[in-house]
Structure 1
Amino acid sequence: MSEHHHDEGHTVAGWTGFAIAVIGTSVAGLGMTVGPSAGIWLGLAVVGLSALVTWGLHLSGWGKPPGIRPVAERGWRVRDRAARDGHAGCVGCRLAGRGRRPVRASAVVLSSEQSTVSQPVVSKSAVSQPVVAEPVTAESGGSEAGA
């Protein structure tokens, strides 16, 4: 059976990241057996580098979106043309700022004049006439509930 029924990781980004990670784990394993801890840290750094290389290749179009691709695009040397805009549901694309949901048409765009904080508008008549509160006494009626 030569036909693949799955579509996971058969990309240049996937295989390159895997190869670099294998080299990194080999260096870390060699560093454990030889003794100096510098070999372990160097190997772990190479493993970290493999993640960055895989991410970079994915963003440049050598990866794939999540899920199953059409059969014509399943070859591992096929470049993904949709990578520039980002893949929906892809964590790597979201971390790079791609694949965000489009802004709805009802969103309000503020101009540079509107984005400044405005001061409250107070009319001159309100400022020139102070409000004086008069105390309520028993002689003045006290309660206006009966009125």
Structure 2
Amino acid sequence: MSQYDEGHTVAGWTGCAIATVGAAVAGTGICLVSAAWIAGGLAIGVVSVLVTWALHLTGWGKGPGPRPRDQWGMRVRDASAWGGHAQCWGCRLAGRGRRGPAAAAREVAPAVGGGEPVPEQPAVPVR
């Protein structure tokens, strides 16, 4: 299995299944020349995006990039989802993830071993 197995998650498969149903309903609407069926299929497509996003934010979807081997399984929840993924649009839309150098400079990680707190790494701007 590849380290970059994005989409091989509960969120990915659920969203794909719902979107497939939406495409089938919209396609049936095109064949029947029915605006109601087409609109219903498009609405189901929007629902698939929202369901996938919600599952991703609860840890059933993985962020971009390589992951440790113990997180390669599809049924493994992503423990880093609550803090947000660094280069994930879904996490950024939800207000999670890295926000920029100014916000990162204000936040500090908890002290390890009773020493001084260590500031987090500044975010790398995405171009």
TM-score by length of 1: 0.66
Could you list the per-position Cα deviations for residues 85-124 of structure 1 after superposition, in whole angstroms to 9, with x for gaps in the alignment? 101011000000001334424xxxxxxxxxxxxxxxxxxx
The residue aligned with 1:104 is 105
Q: Is the 8 A contact 2:26 2:37 kept in 1?
A: yes
RMSD: 1.2
Q: How does 1:52-131 map to 2 (within 5 A)?
A: 52-101=50-99, 102-105=103-106
The residue aligned with 1:28 is 26
Could you list the per-position Cα deviations for residues 24-78 of structure 1 after superposition, in whole angstroms to 9, with x for gaps in the alignment? 0000000111121110010011011100000000000000011121221111110
| Higher helix fraction (1 or 2) | 2
The residue aligned with 2:123 is none
- Structure 1 residues without counterparts, runs of 5 or longer: 106-147
Aligned amino acid, residue 12 of structure 2: G
- Structure 2 residues without counterparts, runs of 5 or longer: 107-127
Aligned amino acid, residue 25 of structure 1: A
Q: Is the 8 A contact 2:10 2:61 kept in 1?
A: yes
Aligned amino acid, residue 39 of structure 2: W
Q: Which has the larger radius of gyration?
A: 1
Between the aligned residues of both structures, percent identity stands at 59
Distance 1:64 1:43 in 2: 27
